[in-house]
Amino acid sequence: MDGKIALEEHWAVDETMHRAGGSFWDEMGKRLRDFRGKRLAEMDAHGIAFAILGLNSPALQGVLDPAKAVDLARRTNDRLAEEIARTPRRLGGFAGLPMQDPTAAARELARCVRELGFKGAMVNCFTQRHVADSAIYYDLPEFQPFWATVAELGVPLYLHPRQTLPSRALAYEGHRWLYSPAWDFGSETALQALRLIGSGLFDSFPTLQIVLGHLGERIPFDMWRIDNLMAKLPVKYPAKKRVSEYMRENFHLTTSGQFHDTAFHCALAAVGASRIMFSVDYPYEEMSAAAAWFDHTPLPEAERMRIGRTNATALFGIELA
At 174-208, the pLDDT tens digits run 999 999 999 999 999 999 999 999 999 999 999 99
Full domain range(s) for residue 182: 56-277
pLDDT band at 18; cut points 50, 70, 90: low
- Active-site choice (14, 44, 101, 281): 281
Whole-number pLDDT of residue 107: 98
203 occurs within a structural domain: yes
3 occurs within a structural domain: no
The string of pLDDT tens digits covering residues 265-292 is 999 999 999 999 999 999 999 999 999 9
147 occurs within a structural domain: yes
Q: Which residue has the higher pLDDT, 49 or 29?
A: 49
60 occurs within a structural domain: yes
Which range, of 56-60, 75-79, 118-122, 248-252, averages the lowest pLDDT? 56-60
| pTM score of the predicted model | 0.97
The string of pLDDT tens digits covering residues 109-125 is 999 999 999 999 999 99
Q: Residues with Cβ < 8 Å from 211, sequence gap 6 or more?
A: 7, 120, 156, 157, 158, 159, 251, 252, 253, 254, 277
pLDDT band at 256; cut points 50, 70, 90: very high
pLDDT band at 22; cut points 50, 70, 90: confident
255 occurs within a structural domain: yes
Q: Assess whether pLDDT exceeds 70 at residue 157.
A: yes
The CA-based dihedral angle spanning residues 239, 243, 244, 245, taken in that order and rounded to the nearest 10 degrees: 10
User: Cα(7)–Cα(256) distance, rounded to whole angstroms?
Assistant: 8
Whole-number pLDDT of residue 20: 59
Whole-number pLDDT of residue 160: 98
| CATH value at residue 194 | 3.20.20.140
298 occurs within a structural domain: no
Over range 64-86, report the average pLDDT: 98
User: Cα(185)–Cα(312) distance, rounded to whole angstroms?
Assistant: 24
The pair phi, psi for residue 237, each rounded to 5°, is -125, 100
CA–centroid distance for 284 within its chain: 14
Longest dimension (CA), the chain: 56
Q: Assess whether pLDDT exceeds 90 at residue 21.
A: no
Percent of the chain with pLDDT over 90: 94
281 is catalytic: yes
Residues in the chain: 321
7 occurs within a structural domain: no
Q: Assess whether pLDDT exceeds 70 at residue 35.
A: yes
Give me the amino acid identity at 308: G
Percent of the chain with pLDDT over 70: 98
- Count of structural domains within the chain: 1
Whole-number pLDDT of residue 19: 61
- Taking the CB of residue 316, how many other CB atoms lie within 10 A of it? 22
The string of pLDDT tens digits covering residues 226-244 is 999 999 999 999 999 999 9
121 occurs within a structural domain: yes
pLDDT band at 24; cut points 50, 70, 90: confident
